[in-house]
Chains A and B, each alone.
Chain A
Amino acid sequence: MKSKRQLQKENTKIKIFKTAYNIYSEYGFTATTAMIAKEAGVSHGTIFVHFSSVNELLTCLIESFGDNLALEIHDLAEKNDSIKKLLETHLNILSKHENFYIHLISEKSLIPEDVQMALVNIQSNFAFHFNRIIEREIQRHAVKSIPIHMIFNTWIGLIHYYLLNKDLFSPDEPLLKRYSSELIKTFLELIKD
């Protein structure tokens, strides 16, 4: 069994993690660890007891979001589900992390390079399952025979365009909540054979 001290330590780590997620979601990646410490009610040094550096904290946050996505997508792909279900799941998870994700893609160049890799890995993992389902659909002539990377990039391009211009498409409410079904419907119509 874990000692009280250990549990306390773990709780502090979770608190820092959650606070960091909220701060970055709200202010983006220029937010400082001082802001996170203040909001979490811990000393600045405490953050670095749990995370060796800002990079480690950022990587942890992005990877945890990626794991979340990977797990749901993997389960879904195994069930041999439809493209529609895959896209819905994708947007559903992005929608849960909408602000965080918008900062991630719009401020990519501000994030340290090794942390950027975590973001690239999320996209690659999604591409793996996307490929599996699209390839099958092309074979059975349900989807146009277009190179898979172009189908994938068209999807990512479409949703990123909307997300990056949230101020224009949906300034006052969550963007994906408002546009998910239209984006999915349109994309499916475009790739249909």
Chain B
Amino acid sequence: MKICIACGMPMKELSDFAGEDTSKDYCVHCARPDGSMQSFEERKTNMINFIIKTQGFDEKAATKIAENNMKKLPAWKEYFNIGD
């Protein structure tokens, strides 16, 4: 089973894949309307907003959670290596 490199979601169904294309390594939630993968900043903003929407956390706390999640994902690992 493939796991989205940009958010960690398991991709099982065709509808889980970006553009329903199983050769893609990222999921439907991490794709832009044109099908390309969201940038680091876009993904981070989306994650933060999602956490606030679903759990109501403070923005600072939500940012910390989003960054902590992204740090572990193949697509964003390199963004965190500097100064680590």
Residues of A within 8 A of B (CB): 74, 78, 117, 120-121, 123-124, 127-128, 130-131, 147-150, 152-153
Contacts and interface: CB of A to CB of B under 8 A. Distances in A.
Contacts of A127: 51, 54-55
B6 to A, nearest CB: 14
B78 interface: no
B55 A123 contact: yes
Contact of B53 (A78, A123, A131, A153): A131
Contact of A121 (B50, B56, B69): B69
A149 B12 contact: no
B55 A149 contact: yes
Given A117-B68, A120-B65, A121-B69, A78 B13 contact: yes
Main SS of the interface on chain B?
helix
Interface of B: 10, 12-13, 50-56, 65, 68-69
Contacts of B10: 74
Nearest to A120: B65
Contact of B65 (A117, A128, A147): A117
A180 B50 CA distance: 28
A148 B54 contact: yes
17 contacts: A117-B65, A117-B68, A120-B68, A121-B65, A121-B69, A123-B55, A124-B51, A124-B54, A124-B55, A127-B54, A127-B55, A131-B53, A148-B54, A149-B52, A149-B54, A152-B54, A152-B55
A78 B51 CA distance: 21
A103 to B, nearest CB: 22
A149 B50 CA distance: 10
Q: Which 5 pairs from chain A and chain B are nearest by CB?
A: A149-B56, A127-B54, A131-B54, A127-B55, A117-B68
A131 B56 CA distance: 12
B55 A153 contact: yes
Nearest to B15: A78
Nearest to A129: B54
A124 B55 CA distance: 8
Contacts of B51: 124, 127
A55 to B, nearest CB: 14
Nearest to B29: A128
Given A124-B54, A128-B50, 15 more contacts: A74-B10, A120-B68, A121-B69, A123-B55, A124-B69, A127-B51, A127-B54, A131-B53, A131-B54, A148-B53, A148-B54, A149-B52, A150-B56, A152-B55, A152-B56
